[in-house]
Structure 1
Amino acid sequence: MTLFRPCIDLHQGKVKQIVGGSLNDSGATENFISQYDAEYYADLYKKHGLKGGHVIALGKDKKNHEQAICALRTYPNGLQYGGGVTAKNATEYLKAGASHVIVTSYLFKNGAFSWDRLDKIKRETGVDRLVLDLSCRRTKDGWYIATNRWQTVTSTAINEENLYEFAQHCDEFLIHAADVEGLQAGIDEELVALIGKHSPVNATYAGGARSLEDLKKVQTLSDGNVDLTIGSALDIFGGSGVNLEECIGWNKQAAAEPA
């Protein structure tokens, strides 16, 4: 059954919602800047028993790191962490309370996927606490993993073969559709269907969700095999498409469904 997964996106030390494809060295197009810190959202998710959400630090700002650590300590084992994760620092986030660490760019060296780096970080985290971020951009030939804040499109495709191979080395996938991230213009239905059909492990999709109907749509397209993150459209992030209570209700209903 498809579940709602919460998020805390950090940029320049603040909880924000941005247009994913706009992120670069000079900043980003911002949809929302919260008056609350990461601890507030972590505590909110904890109170409502929302697990499996992700804290993502966008950029190397020191305040991002401070906010992320605070969120992880507020909700131990309830949130995953991603943003600049390497084999050298992965353990720090796990010790701070992350249930998993999420890794992307570190796994690429000179534009090519590095199995050696995957082995190194896997030795630090174990397979059961590692999430591979396969966030991607659409090309005329399909979807390809994008690194460096989604600005660099690699030669590694999101396809049946690669999903199967990567699944042997991690517990979950997190896949942002960077082309629609933050736009509230609808999910990438073809990508969701592909992930749902071919991912051997739990997968969370993010990008373009704008209403509770998108949870229903992901459920149908993926046969319940893909979870959904809703960001900019959510009321707690200034959106008007869906409110958190609806998402909590969806998850409770899902939990009550027979296996």
Structure 2
Amino acid sequence: MQLLHGRVSQVAMPSLLNAVVTAPAMRPRAPLTVRGAVSAEVSTVQEGKRAVKFRPCIDIHKGKVKQIVGSTLRDLPDDGNSDNAAALITNFESQLSAGAFAEMYKNDGLLGGHVIMLGADPASHAAALEALKAYPGGLQMGGGVNLDNARGYLDAGASHVIVTSFVFRDGQMDDERLKQLVKLTGKNRLVLDLSCRKKDGQYMVVTDRWQRFSDLVVNEATLVMLSAFADEFLVHGVDVEGKRLGIDDELVKILGKYSPIPCTYAGGVNTLADLERIKAAGNGVVDVTVGSALDVFGGDLPYKEVVAWHNRQLASCDASREGS
């Protein structure tokens, strides 16, 4: 796949090795833009019939399952007296363990959820491994993933590892790091987190606990190009994440229109109607994560109703396939 004068052209990639070797350099000096029509419609995701799925989450902070407004996280030490501690907004802290949530998701048949460590402390690491052990193959693992620990998380039971900050350096994507990670994990077990915030009218990927803007725009060219390296994308709408004020429809539309691979959106979901909005805006191909709004995380939206909605999507898709 090559980026030529702002346009994307498809190049045959018969193997992961070819994808790694022939991939274009991904350190654009200016935000990546598209000037013409691009062939994202060749995607099997866009062509095939699939159900929109609910992807559950387990966010871990200092060993506890919490729901935090992600944009309030800082890299400063939390000594109890710092501005960091005061600025952190925690929506909910559960008395249940990460393993208990993983067991619940397993019992409800929910695949492809994500475990995110919001810190590298030993308690959070232990809690994450507990979740992976409780639901081997059912959860993706993210938070500080790099070349040193990615393989270990996969061996511990993660279906995929999720990566953001490691493949960026000084606000630019480091293609060598990305290639190394793909060689280590395999494309089919890597999820790229393209969580973003709006800046100057464009959605820019943010890294380092969503504090640093990169120069990478979430648009057609970027999604098509990076699909050569990942099995899925995970995208938090950071401007609305954790605030339960409604979804970012514009961002969901971009993902639904242009992502050639499965993509999960998170941010702002508050009602079942928001799930239907994502289904519509995302062209029926964008999955959804719900966090703070769920009653299991202290919100008002019944978890069981979301699971029932998820099951209805699967049943409807199965019926559609049988009738075609």
TM-score normalized by the length of structure 2 = 0.78
Q: Any idea what the Cα deviations from partners look like across 1:95-138, whole Å, max 9, x if unmatched?
A: 00000000000001122101100011101110000000001111
Amino acid at match of 1:78: G
Residue aligning to 1:157:
217
- Structure with the largest fraction of strand: 1
- Equivalent residue, structure 1, for 2:142: 82
Corresponding position: 1:19 with 2:69: yes
Q: Which residue of 1 aligns with 2:242?
A: 182
1:254 counterpart letter in structure 2: Q
**Contact 1:20 1:179 (C-alpha < 8 Å) held by counterparts:** no
Aligned twin of 2:182: 122
Q: Which has the larger radius of gyration?
A: 2
User: Match for 2:307: what amino acid?
Assistant: I
Segments of 5+ residues of structure 2 without an aligned counterpart are 1-50, 77-83
How is 1:99-248 mapped onto 2 (pairs within 5 angstroms)? 99-240=159-300, 242-248=301-307
Supply the distance in 2 between the matched residues of 1:197 and 1:56 (Cα, whole angstroms): 27
1:161 deviates by 0.2
Give the RMSD, CA atoms, in angstroms.
Answer: 0.9
Say if 1:2 and 1:215, in contact at 8 Å, map to a contact too: no
Q: Please, which runs of 5 or more residues in structure 1 have no aligned partner?
A: none
Whole-angstrom distance in 2 between the partners of 1:59 and 1:217: 32
Q: Which runs of 4+ in 1 moved over 6 A?
A: none
> Cα offset for 1:141?
2.9
Give CA deviations for 1:205-226 in whole Å, capped at 9, x if unaligned.
0011001111111111111110
| CA deviation string 1:16-57 (max 9, x = no partner) | 001111111224200000011100100000011111100000
CA positional deviation for 1:12:
1.3
Cα distance in structure 2, aligned partners of 1:177 and 1:208: 8
Give, in whole Å, the separation in 1 of the partners of 2:70 and 2:280: 25
Shift of 1:60: 1.5
Mapped partners of 1:4, 1:214: distance in 2: 12
Secondary structure of the 1:200 match is coil
Give how far 1:59 is off. Answer: 1.5
* Deviation (angstroms), 1:140: 1.8
Partner of 1:10: 60
